[in-house]
Chain A
Amino acid sequence: MTGYIEQREKEANELRLNESIASSDRPKPPSAVASTMTFATRALLRIKHVPEQMFDVTVFPVIFLLMFTYLFGGAIAGSTEEYLQFLLPGILVMTVAQITMYTGIDLNNDIRKGIFDRFRTLPIWLPSALIGSLLVDVIRYSMASVIMITLGFALGFRPEGGLMGVLGAIALILVFSFSLSWIWTVCGLIVRSEKALMMISFMVLFPLTFVSNVFVDPRTLPSWLESFVDVNPISILATAVRGAMHGTVTTQQVIWVLIVSVIMTAIFAPITVYLYRNKK
């Protein structure tokens, strides 16, 4: 009796299997926008399922801001409140710049897990896989910015540029971070392990963010260091963001940020796409 039921069940399963195979039709490949949005949806779903990954854009900024305000405030500017006016725009730049490296780590994980191979055998516009997740990263960067500015406000940060100035500053950070992410996607495609990738990102980002005008006025530095700080892209961005928040930004400062962003994207985005397509 059970044998009979099992047999019938097996037949029913086979029928379902055959039907599901036969019932597939072949739609037209998706448009670039549709596939980009699909990859963005994937990134959002990953946030939903792995909320821990939001630590870097929520807890990090809070710790950084509190730590540096109260640690250096008294020593550097005489009072924490005064230092906060100078520090907040810079530390916002530094925090967001540092969390851009997670883009590379996510991509590196995809490659090692094999889903990357599946994406590459699909008839899609390949850069959409990267752009989709970068778009969601932009949302993450905005979150980090909002959290930091809100906390800063509670601590006594008073941007003289008003709301428009703050929004303009955030826009500059997002454009810059999107462009900076392409460097990490290149690294993520080249480097074999997540550990090595962390090392590289750290070695680049640590000096770049600290040897800048984020914490101190470069005029206090020895001249050889000052000239490095002046051309450091992080300084260029921090200057413009600080200017925007306090209402003293110049067109030239904004243009410099855009130039640096365009250069980074123009160099590293094509390399990323090339490597993505031709990865061994």
Chain B
Amino acid sequence: MSRVRGVSLEAAPDWAIEAKGLVKIFGKHRAVDGVDLTVRRGTVFGFLGPNGAGKTTTIRLLATLLKPDGGSARIFGHDLSKEGDEIRSRISLTGQYASIDEDLTGMENLVMMGRLMGYGRAAAKARAAELLKAFGLQEAAKRQVKNYSGGMRRRIDIAASIVVTPELLFLDEPTAGLDPRSRNQVWDIIRALVGSGTTVLLTTQYLEEADQLADRIAVINQGKIIAEGTSSELKASVGTGTLSLQLVNAEDRPRAVNILEDKLSAAVRLMLDSTSLTAQINDSFLVADALSELARNKIAVSDFSFGRPSLDEVFLTLTGHEAAQEAQSEEGVS
């Protein structure tokens, strides 16, 4: 296990990615607007944000697919703008859409990748067979990829990225659209890769995925990183506790907001659903008082919870809108 943890390495930090002030402009749109990023070797870094936040563009900049319009970056100490070949021999990219030839079989795809990485014919075939077995795709080896299920497609795609295990793997929304079982399989693969020392930079819209996999998380919105830290740091930054309430009647909500703001002396947020609200509070003693005040005012509560904030709430607090809401409306457009 070469996963970098603990204090001993703190003195000589070993960065997989160091980016300063990265900018990418498409027309008038600043897709990436001054992104600073440091990712320690051997860790998983999660890029969290809604569609159109700049996640994919940042990955494409770091994978040498796009030239930045400003800023600079080093990948394992190699300058992004000058040492493209050095960088390309260390990284691998699994894009948002299947980056393999769907007309070819799984086997043919992996053999092709092996040959392009520099293996001889026999070695490429052996490696392809080994990977197909490890990824549970042995039976599908001779089928065209276009006949694969979503989960199989994702796996063959990742397998193609690790024909030669890269030092840094970019995964752009690796589990988008997968069922829970396939998603868990992909997570296992990612954990195994990190266990062998690969650094992973993954983007996701799912807060749970970032929570599960990432050592550090950056929340990105409108091309800017608006928060960065471990999952617990991000949660703590929002407050120690979250009170979530669901009312029986939607028309009670304005009155409930007044009462809660008065009793809790904290801002109350309205959720999408017309009967729900949440508030970040630091003093749990106030909660009981606030709830009984609601009861005195005949405001019926159907459900309430008090606990540490979820990443969802972190996102909501940081961006002022819900991640899911944004994601849905974006998907509607595309």
| Interface residue total, chain A, C-beta cutoff 8 A | 40
Question: Does A123 contact B85, Cβ atoms closer than 8 Å?
Answer: yes
Closest residue on chain B to residue A25 by CB atoms = B164
Which residues of B sit under 8 angstroms from A50, Cβ to Cβ?
A: 103
Question: Does B123 contact A27, Cβ atoms closer than 8 Å?
Answer: yes
**A199 is an interface residue with CB less than 8 A from chain B:** no
**A16 is an interface residue with CB less than 8 A from chain B:** yes
Which residues of B sit under 8 angstroms from A117, Cβ to Cβ?
A: 60, 63, 65, 93, 95, 99
**B101 is an interface residue with CB less than 8 A from chain A:** yes
- Measured CA separation A22–B130 after assembly (Å): 12
Q: A121-B65, A121-B88 are in contact. Are A114 and B123 (CB under 8 A)?
A: no
Question: Does A30 contact B193, Cβ atoms closer than 8 Å?
Answer: no
Question: Does A114 contact B97, Cβ atoms closer than 8 Å?
Answer: yes
Which residues of B sit under 8 angstroms from A46, Cβ to Cβ?
A: 101, 103-104
- Measured CA separation A114–B104 after assembly (Å): 15
Closest residue on chain A to residue B94 by CB atoms = A118
Q: How far is the CB of A30 from chain B (nearest CB, A)?
A: 5
Contact of B189 among A17, A30, A42, A120 (CB under 8 A): A17
- Measured CA separation A22–B164 after assembly (Å): 10
**B267 is an interface residue with CB less than 8 A from chain A:** no
**A251 is an interface residue with CB less than 8 A from chain B:** no
Question: Does A278 contact B144, Cβ atoms closer than 8 Å?
Answer: no
Which residues of A sit under 8 angstroms from B196, Cβ to Cβ?
A: 18, 21-22
Question: Does B103 contact A30, Cβ atoms closer than 8 Å?
Answer: no
**B133 is an interface residue with CB less than 8 A from chain A:** yes
Mask: chain A, 11-40; 1 = CB below 8 Å from B; 0 = not = 001101111111111111110001100100
Question: Which B76-102 residues have C-beta < 8 A from chain A?
Answer: 85, 88-89, 91-93, 95-102
Q: A24-B162, A29-B89 are in contact. Are A19 and B134 (CB under 8 A)?
A: yes
Q: How far is the CB of B222 from chain A (nearest CB, A)?
A: 19
**A143 is an interface residue with CB less than 8 A from chain B:** no
- Measured CA separation A117–B196 after assembly (Å): 25
Q: Hey, which bits of chain B sit against chain A, CB under 8 A?
A: 26, 60, 63-67, 85, 88-89, 91-93, 95-105, 108, 112, 115-119, 123, 127, 130-131, 133-136, 144, 160-165, 188-189, 192-193, 195-196, 198
Q: Hey, which bits of chain A sit against chain B, CB under 8 A?
A: 13-14, 16-30, 34-35, 38, 41-42, 45-46, 49-50, 113-115, 117-124, 278-280
Instruction: Knowing that A13-B134, A24-B165 touch, tell me 8 more A-B residue pairs with CB under 8 angstroms.
Output: A17-B135, A45-B108, A113-B99, A114-B96, A114-B97, A118-B100, A122-B117, A278-B67
